[in-house]
Amino acid sequence: MSNSPLTPGIVPGRLPADAIARNFSDHEPALDRHEARVAADRCYFCHDAPCITACPTSIDIPLFIRQIATGTPEAAATTIWSQNILGGICARVCPTETLCEDACVREAAEGKPVEIGRLQRFATDVAMAKGLHPFTRGAPTGKRIAVVGAGPAGLSCAHRLAMHGHDVVVLERRPKAGGLNEYGIASYKATGGFAQKEVDWLLSIGGIEIRNGVELGRDVTLDQLQADYDAVFLGIGLAGVNALRAEGEDKAGVRDAVDFIAELRQTSDLTQLPVGRDVVVIGGGMTAVDAAVQSKLLGAENVTIVYRRGQEKMSASGYEQDHAVQSGVRIIHNAAPLRILGNGHAEAVEFAYTQDGPNGLTISSETFTLKADQVFKAIGQSLAGAPAGLQVDGGKFSGPSGKVWVGGDCAAGGEDLTVTAVAEGRDAAEAIHARLTGA
């Protein structure tokens, strides 16, 4: 989006280059070896570790932390990757504060858990820097599997299939592989092009071909894939964006937050990325927080997140909400948008206060207006591009042919978490392997 007469307040370069560079540097620097050893020594190495149960990929967390404590981070990385092949990015973006670290015994006893996420990053970073890839491709089986979508679920599935010796063709509609990791997370969470570095590292196992610019339904059909391949895994994510259903949402200056984040992630010069002076983000999840915080980091003067329900209903974690507030973002709860005001372009948003009662959400007659030259919609995504009539059974298996599996955000009950998508892709690969080989 560029500055134009229709978007007069949305301009690039609100901050000088050095300020933007500081703002978008790694927001949580990596541990050094000494810090990692100290952090690892805090672990109780529980026999029935609740942190393992809380991890969607069931990483043996006490084991990898003990390996760090004994000076073998490369072994720790192998322990992590054996369950989560995208352990590097997950260490950066996973909401550990609500998963493994929330379950940590030290969190319950002291209110300060073992820094599991940062330790996981330390181990995987050390091993990747040394070029370590501890897995090899299995003996060729002669089977070919199509994986649709090169996001966390698809890449996890492809890697595990390659370990079993299958040939894998990954079809990805976008120019780059990575999915949410490449296009959908805040830039300061994965700096230095890490997402693509991890993809390149994952593909080094061999046996995986990525075909970019191929979209299911446009360039290939599910029937064709079932005819040409021994199995199909669908990890197509959620490409659709829910409508705001508010008057004026088609005005200039109103856009989907996911598109803004993707554009930011792919922009080489952030000083050229336009941002408004007064930004309003509508939604309560991680996408809303990422769009809001990054707008502030680009130089927006006033940034406000407005969510229709109470704070306890926000899907963004408490940690992320606090981070937004500390970054200068205001959060307003219990308010729903009524209309976008302005003559051709957004100038303000009118909201109505809401009440969330036993009969659902009700909108009151009391309203307020926020000045806004840029409005981001972050009210959730929907499944788009799925073959008509496809029935997803618990995100595991679908289709009368017995050849289609589904995982990641597009599956029933998708949680919009990289780590969950990795687990579903890995488990689908094991199921596919068992089906194809009778193992």
The CATH number fitting domain 144-239+383-437, selected from 2.30.30.240, 2.40.10.120, 3.50.50.60, 3.40.50.970: 3.50.50.60
| pLDDT, tens digit (0-9, with 9 covering 90-100), for 159-193 | 999 999 999 999 999 999 999 999 999 999 999 99
SS3 377: strand
What residues contact 149, with CB distance under 8 A and at least 6 apart? 170, 171, 172, 179, 234, 235, 236, 237, 408, 410
Within this chain, domains 33-129 and 243-379 share the same CATH topology: no
Superfamily of domain 243-379: FAD/NAD(P)-binding domain (3.50.50.60)
Please report the pLDDT score of residue 272 as a whole number: 94
pTM: 0.92
Please report the pLDDT score of residue 4 as a whole number: 44
Paired residues of 381 in beta bridges: 241
Domain boundaries, the chain: 33-129, 144-239+383-437, 243-379
- The C-alpha angle 20, 286, 195, rounded to 5 degrees, equals 60
Torsion, Cα of 62, 66, 68, 69 (10° steps): 130
Q: Which fold has domain 33-129?
A: Fumarate Reductase Iron-sulfur Protein; Chain B, domain 2 (1.10.1060)
Alpha helix segments (H runs only) across 244-329: 257-266, 286-298, 318-326
DSSP per-residue codes, 132-147: -----PPPP-S-EEEE
Please report the pLDDT score of residue 409 as a whole number: 79
What residues contact 124, with CB distance under 8 A and at least 6 apart? 77, 80, 81, 87, 88, 91
Helix (H) or strand (E) holding 256: strand 254-256
User: At residue 104, what are phi and psi to the nearest 5 degrees?
Assistant: -60, 140
Could you tell me the CA-to-CA distances from 277 to 255, 271, 283, 300 in Å, in that order? 15, 15, 19, 5
Side chain identity at 9, as an amino acid letter? G
Flag residues of the chain having pLDDT under 50: 1-6, 389, 391, 393-397
